[in-house]
A and B are shown apart, each in its own frame.
Chain A
Amino acid sequence: MAVTEQFLELAANGVVYSSIIVLCSIGLSLIYSISGFANFAHGDTMTVGAYATLVAFGAIGGIGFSVLSLPLGFFLAVVIGIAITAVVALVTERIVYKPLQIGSLGLLITSIGIAFIYRALIQVGFSAGTYRYELEALRPIDALVQYGIRVTEHDVAIVISTIVLVVGLHILLQHTDLGRKMRATADNPDLARASGIRTRNVELWTWTIGAGLAGAGGAFLGLFNQLVPRMGFNELLIIFAAVILGGIGSVYGAMLGGFLIGMIVEMTPILSTVGIPIGSEYGAAIAFVIMVLVLLVRPEGIAGQAVGGEGG
């Protein structure tokens, strides 16, 4: 059953890729829900996370015991990478976006400029070449190869880390004070402020979380592929497709949209196997076409609008 085997292999890869897209989509959607603009710098924020992790891991080295062939030092480096990304985003928000007195379109265009600045600085610091983390390349897990699934322990680590982060975010949003404030602010900033919520703090926390998740996504993307200055920008439209499919501004929609779009992009090769003449090189194109269709037919996406729109 060649088709089944190919299906399983692609699906396994798709789950790993989707995890990364889910992390970044949540971040983009969160920032949209609070700041009200489509942040084109989100892709390059991922790149910042990846390179920050690279530097941190280079400094820390492979200390500690290994989990899934990843030394503890790597996880520590990812945490530092996330922190650096969040700081970079906060500084950008403070000195660039906040003082701007223009509408959401102006912010959108400004964020393109920010994206270029991030990428240019990364290219200055690290050249345009490719990097990999100082980890030994792994063979696919033997126990799964017999089913045609070729994933490494690193891939499993990506998926598990994503699940941890997503569950953590869910608990944060639903069961903590900050989460309630975030949902309230996203829903109606004026009302939130009138109820005594310091919306500016909430806004900064949202940027921190959103950029941090993008940083994590970038770090894992670097583990999944490799690090190049364009890595984040290349995924930006895929992430937009995911966010729009899920419903822009909705966190749970972004999770679902990220999963679906990630799977669709990675599963495209199955089309030519079952006889539809669309090659695997059009995976991203299919995602973009779906994005446009969603915008036309159901612009609010699968899950409606605000962070608090559902589940809460």
Chain B
Amino acid sequence: MTKAEQAVAGIVAAVAIALLLAMLGGVLSPTYFLFLFGLGGMYALMSLGLNAQWGFTGLINFSVAAFFGLGAYGAAIMTASNSPLAGGFNPIFGLALALALAAVVAVAIGIPTLRLRADYLAIATLGLAEVIRMVILNEGDYTAGSQGLRGIPSFFEGWPILSAFPETMPGLEIEIIPGQAVVLGTSFWRQLLNVSLMLAFLGTAFFVLRRAHRAPWGRVLRTIRSDEDLAKALGKNTYWYKMQAFVLGSLIMALAGVFYAHLNLFVNPGDLDPITTFYVWVAVMLGGAGSNRGALLGGFVVVAIREGPRFVGDVPVFALDPGPLRLLLIGLLIVLVMRFRPQGVLPPQRELIWPTAIDDDNRTTPKMGVREAKTDGEMQGSTDVSTEQSGGGDSDE
């Protein structure tokens, strides 16, 4: 393990122990913890999706929130009780619609934009994401507009055993510290089901991406990221590969949206706010572009930033509203990561092809090595010259 990995492992372990103690001590309710853990997994899922686009392929996609929203709305339109189109279906159909919607829109956005230069792609995708948000906000006949879709069932509604699982499980009472019993009731089991759904999504996405990253397919993507002309020269249809990565990432983001719809049981157009996009970007940059482990880590850190300000509100030093504090922390985190660790906390190991897109200059691996060798050589050269010129003189020996 590298130093960074050891540090991260240590911090993760410390945080896990602290959370466990907080739960046993009755400070943090286990149900709420599971809810937060679910949110963390949701961001981690979106980060994995963005990682496939930005980390693997170098596509600057600023429409994460739109695909998340499409996933959530796809699930909600099929299942919500006030859905103007088709409410009350089994959530499986919602999942199918969400994925289909995301795939179609990803292709539709990808066809024009994936030919664009990197910074233009960023602006174009952000603009199109806003267009999607406006359509969802204003086409109330299909989406119920600004009032949102409510009455979404839990994902396992209508499944054989699982739909009744929270009710059939006995309420547990755990008393470690006398007088402070931790009660695990129906809502706990419901959240546990949600979290297991999230883990299923997350696990699937993680292993698919890990497999893809190691396969020849992933190597082509990384070649595109670091030098698209090179990939073209090798006979690869880079546009087609970029499209595949874009759609794959978008599907994973839509999965996060489906999970969110069944976690929150309510969606509205505010869920497509571009801030979500930037949260996910922070997660990926913090973890390290191209690193799936980093994306997982980043997702949970982002939820800590998003939800943390609620708890520190009582401490006088942080006597700020949660809203601005959250924004300030995200902003500072972006600036600090870009300043001090642009490759992220857990950059991918054993990479043969390094990205040139984001950190041209301060990469500590091959590129820099070549430059150091070059400067060394020059210095060597100049010393040689001076020795020759001094010609055995005694002054500089």
Contact = CB atoms under 8 A, between A and B. Distances in A.
A193 B321 CA distance: 48
Contacts of B116: 295-296, 299
Contacts of B339: 96, 99-100, 110
A219 interface: no
Contact of B335 (A114, A119, A282): A114
A191 interface: no
Given A38-B122, A108-B119, A113-B332, A120 B127 contact: no
A105, A110, A127: which has the most chain B beta carbons within 10 Å? A105
Interface in A99-117: 99-106, 108-110, 112-117
Interface stretch (A56-64, A177-185, A196-204, A283-291): A283-291
Given A299-B117, A299-B120, A117 B331 contact: yes
B332 A38 contact: no
A234 B130 CA distance: 11
A282 B134 CA distance: 7
Interface of B: 60, 112-113, 115-120, 122-124, 126-128, 130-131, 134-135, 137-138, 278, 281, 285, 320-321, 323-328, 330-335, 338-339, 342, 356-362
A279 interface: yes
Nearest to A32: B119
B128 A117 contact: no
A237 B130 contact: yes
Contacts, number: 139
A291 B60 CA distance: 17
A37 B123 CA distance: 12
Interface string A105-148: 11011101111110111011001100000000000000000000
A103 B131 CA distance: 29
A109 B324 contact: no
Contacts of B323: 123, 128
A1 to B, nearest CB: 29
A288 B128 contact: yes
B327 A120 contact: yes
A259 interface: no
Which of A109, A289, A299 is the most central at the interface, judged by chain B CB atoms within 10 Å of its CB? A109
Nearest to A119: B327
Contacts of A20: none
Given A113-B338, A121-B328, 13 more contacts: A102-B361, A103-B359, A105-B357, A106-B358, A113-B330, A113-B335, A120-B324, A120-B331, A123-B323, A128-B323, A281-B134, A284-B130, A292-B113
> Could you tell me the dominant secondary structure of chain B's interface residues?
helix
Contacts of A121: 324, 328
A109 B124 contact: no
A244 interface: yes
Contact of A105 (B118, B127, B333, B335): B118
A66 to B, nearest CB: 36
A124 B233 CA distance: 53
A261 B333 CA distance: 34
Contacts of A116: 278, 327-328, 330-331, 334
A175 B122 CA distance: 36
